């Protein structure tokens, strides 16, 4: 059915070895130009494609990378990590074996085992949001990188968003629009983004010489209803801020509903800036939400490239996490304060 090296050899009249040599462009082989041509032609006619199982077995390189995601479900925008990874892998002739553990930790071990059984060249361990993780020891069996995640021991190369810097960028945008009373709708999760974005908010205020008001800084559950409550808490005050920086887009969505319930208008009365750029929200909301885009695609690409070079040239760490900037995506939720 599918043509093999042997078929090409027989049909061209040369040995399997010679065929392999020319098809792989093995350097330092003296092969007659005619031979090269003939072999190439025959291979073409037969639509020959190397069997990667056989190739992998022989070369000890499967051309396959294991991608372990803790969840591709809950946070949709995270799929761009996979997209970036896939594109970078394709560039290098590699492919992704995918396992999503969906928060079931017992699937981690099993997934890695399955990867190892298939002789993956390396593994990327991707979290859905910036987290400190403790991957199973079996991850050590192959070169690995962490995405949106890091360990305390820094034993793997890892990429994470720059929480502090990006939060500063967001608040600076509000300052630039003329706001002097800026609130922060924060979250209560025990994750790096919590402290990071809060710190960025405060730093930006300080840099702009703006007052920090404890009452404008509130923490709630990091989803829509939490955002609603947080926004109400801040906006119900007489000295309410004219702009709100939100921990994420879901909270910003809740803030939209709060603003409307108060008879106010987003951008006109209250400027809002989110975080994540979850397009369903940021583009779906009315007016469009200005927000910080998580650099998922870029991290995915970086992950594979880093992994690939690690495979070619193993090294031992420790590795400082590399921080990725979140670009500001301007839409229509930021205006100038009234009066």
Binding site for DNA (CB under 7 A): 4-6, 13-18, 20-21, 23-24, 26, 29-32, 34-35, 48-51, 54-55, 57-60
CA dihedral 282, 199, 265, 173 (to 10 degrees): -80
Taking the complex as a whole, the smallest distance from the CB of residue 239 to its own copies amounts, in Å, to: 26
Taking the complex as a whole, the smallest distance from the CB of residue 76 to its own copies amounts, in Å, to: 3
Taking the complex as a whole, the smallest distance from the CB of residue 163 to its own copies amounts, in Å, to: 21
* Dist. CA 134–CA 152, nearest whole Å: 8
In the chain, how many H helices and how many E strands?
12, 12
Spatial contact of 102 and 121, defined as CB atoms under 8 Å apart? no
Taking the complex as a whole, the smallest distance from the CB of residue 2 to DNA amounts, in Å, to: 7
Among 9, 99, 289, 307, binds its own copies (CB under 8 A): 99
Give 165 or 288: the residue with its C-beta nearer to its own copies. Answer: 288
Residue 35's contacts (CB-CB under 8 Å, 6 or more residues apart) are 14, 18, 22
Judged by CB under 8 A, does residue 24 bind its own copies?
Answer: no
Give which of DNA, its own copies, none residue 203 binds (C-beta under 5 to 8 Å, depending on kind): none
Start-to-end C-alpha separation, the chain: 77
Stretch that binds its own copies, among 108-116, 150-158, 311-319, 329-337 (CB under 8 A): 108-116
The conformation of residue 102, written as its DSSP 8-state character, comes to: T
Total residue length of the chain? 339
Spatial contact of 158 and 321, defined as CB atoms under 8 Å apart? yes
Give 27 or 209: the residue with its C-beta nearer to DNA. Answer: 27
Stretch that binds its own copies, among 46-54, 157-165, 239-247, 310-318 (CB under 8 A): 46-54
Among 253, 267, 272, 307, binds its own copies (CB under 8 A): 253
Give 54 or 73: the residue with its C-beta nearer to DNA. Answer: 54
Among 131, 257, 325, 329, binds its own copies (CB under 8 A): 257
User: Using alpha carbons only, what angle is made at residue 77 by residues 76 and 81, rounded to the nearest 5 degrees?
Assistant: 110
Give which of DNA, its own copies, none residue 268 binds (C-beta under 5 to 8 Å, depending on kind): none
User: Using alpha carbons only, what angle is made at residue 222 by residues 216 and 223, rounded to the nearest 5 degrees?
Assistant: 115
Give 226 or 321: the residue with its C-beta nearer to its own copies. Answer: 226
Give 198 or 231: the residue with its C-beta nearer to its own copies. Answer: 231
Burial 207-245 (b: 16+ CB within 10 A, else e): ebebeebeebbbbbbbebebbbbbbbbbbeeeebbbbbb
Give which of its own copies, DNA, none residue 35 binds (C-beta under 5 to 8 Å, depending on kind): DNA
Taking the complex as a whole, the smallest distance from the CB of residue 276 to its own copies amounts, in Å, to: 10
# residues near its own copies by CB under 8 A? 53
What order of strands is seen across the sheet that includes strand 290-293?
217-220, 182-187, 243-246, 271-276, 290-293, 328-329
Taking the complex as a whole, the smallest distance from the CB of residue 47 to its own copies amounts, in Å, to: 10
Give 47 or 313: the residue with its C-beta nearer to DNA. Answer: 47
In three-state form (DSSP H/G/I as H, E/B as E, the rest C), the secondary structure along 63-130 is: CEEEEEECCCCCCHHHHHHHHHHHHHHHHCCCEEEEEECCCCCHHHHHHHHHHHHCCCCEEEEEEEEE
Site for its own copies in 118-147 (CB under 8 A): 118-119
Taking the complex as a whole, the smallest distance from the CB of residue 90 to its own copies amounts, in Å, to: 7
Among 7, 10, 283, 325, binds its own copies (CB under 8 A): 283
């Amino acid at each position: 059915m599918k043509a093999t090296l042997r078929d090409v050899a027989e049909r061209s009249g040369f040995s399997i070895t010679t065929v392999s040599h020319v098809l792989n462009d093995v350097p330092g082989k003296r092969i007659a130009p005619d031979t090269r041509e003939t072999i190439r032609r025959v291979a073409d006619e037969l639509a020959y494609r190397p069997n990667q199982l056989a190739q992998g077995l022989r070369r000890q390189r499967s051309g396959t990378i294991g991608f372990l995601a803790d969840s591709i479900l809950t946070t949709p925008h995270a799929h761009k990590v996979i997209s970036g990874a896939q594109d970078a892998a394709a560039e290098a002739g590699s492919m992704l074996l995918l396992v999503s553990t969906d928060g079931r930790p017992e699937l981690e071990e099993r997934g890695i085992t399955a990867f190892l059984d298939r002789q993956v060249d390396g593994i990327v361990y991707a979290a859905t949001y910036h987290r400190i993780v403790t991957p199973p020891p079996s991850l050590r069996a192959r070169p690995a990188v962490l995405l949106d995640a890091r360990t305390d021991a820094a034993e793997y190369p890892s990429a994470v968003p720059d929480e502090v810097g990006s939060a500063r960028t967001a608040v600076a945008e509000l300052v630039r629009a003329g706001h002097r009373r800026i609130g922060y709708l924060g979250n209560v999760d025990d994750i790096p983004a919590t402290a990071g974005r809060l710190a960025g908010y405060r730093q930006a205020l300080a840099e702009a010489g703006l007052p920090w008001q404890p009452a404008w800084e509130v923490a709630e559950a990091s989803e829509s209803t939490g955002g609603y409550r947080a926004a109400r808490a801040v906006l119900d005050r007489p000295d309410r801020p004219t702009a709100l920086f939100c921990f994420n887009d879901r909270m910003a969505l809740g803030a939209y509903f709060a603003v409307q319930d108060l008879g106010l208008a987003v951008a006109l009365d209250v400027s809002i800036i989110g975080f994540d750029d979850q397009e369903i929200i940021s583009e779906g909301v009315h007016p469009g939400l200005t927000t910080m885009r998580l650099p998922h695609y870029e991290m995915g690409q970086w992950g594979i490239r880093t992994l690939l070079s690690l495979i070619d040239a193993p090294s031992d760490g420790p590795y400082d996490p590399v921080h990725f900037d979140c670009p500001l995506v301007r839409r229509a939720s930021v205006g100038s304060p009234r009066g």
